[in-house]
């Protein structure tokens, strides 16, 4: 079965409670529910986690790689600063899609650079919670292409 680890970085536990004008009204628990519902429909197993700690995220990226899982990651502010996360993604070999709620390119210039984008399959940003669903769809297709035996046959 295709497995996807959805990893969330610093401060995303505050979603829905502060800065709704930037990040919307949905809490991370609500986003998790929405992702799980969609994943169930796709026949994808999901591990959904959040941490404020860089090293914890590194451990989870390595775990996903060791399990042969894909990753959808909203690394929060670590996106723009973390060589450790970039090295973990590259070293884990886990196919990874970077997602963001906000359109980081329409915000401050320090958010325009991502250290993890070059080691990710692609980046989805600016669609609010839907960015996670688009990320799930993208990683599902990428993983299904790699191991077609995991995809239900059309005939």
List 5, 23, 78, 132, catalytic entry: 23
Closer by beta carbon to ligand CA2, 77 or else 83: 77
Q: Which part of the chain contacts ligand CA2 (CB under 6 A), choosing from 9-17, 34-42, 45-53, 58-66?
A: 9-17
Verify whether residue 100 is a known catalytic residue.
Answer: yes
Residues 6+ apart with CB under 8 A from 46: 3, 4, 5, 6, 35, 36, 39, 136
Rule CB under 6 A: say whether 46 interacts with ligand CA2. Answer: no
Q: What are phi and psi of 112, to 5 degrees?
A: -75, -25
> How many Å separate Cα 81 from the centre of its chain?
17
Verify whether residue 23 is a known catalytic residue.
Answer: yes
Q: Which part of the chain contacts ligand CA2 (CB under 6 A), choosing from 15-23, 35-43, 132-140, 142-150?
A: 15-23
């Amino acid at each position: 079965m295709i497995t996807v680890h959805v990893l969330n970085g610093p401060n995303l536990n505050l979603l829905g409670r502060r800065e709704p004008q930037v990040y919307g009204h949905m809490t991370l628990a609500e986003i998790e529910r929405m992702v799980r519902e969609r994943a169930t429909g796709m026949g994808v197993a999901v591990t959904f986690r959040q941490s404020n700690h860089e090293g914890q995220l590194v451990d989870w990226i390595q775990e996903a790689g060791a399990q042969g899982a894909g990753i959808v990651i909203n690394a929060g502010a670590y996106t723009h600063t973390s060589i450790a996360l970039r090295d973990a993604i590259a070293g884990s070999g886990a196919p990874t899609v970077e997602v963001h709620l906000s359109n980081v390119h329409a915000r401050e210039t320090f958010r325009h650079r991502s250290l993890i984008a070059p080691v990710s399959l692609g980046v989805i940003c600016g669609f609010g919670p839907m960015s996670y669903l688009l990320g799930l769809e993208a990683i599902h297709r990428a993983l299904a292409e790699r191991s077609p035996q995991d995809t239900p046959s059309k005939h």
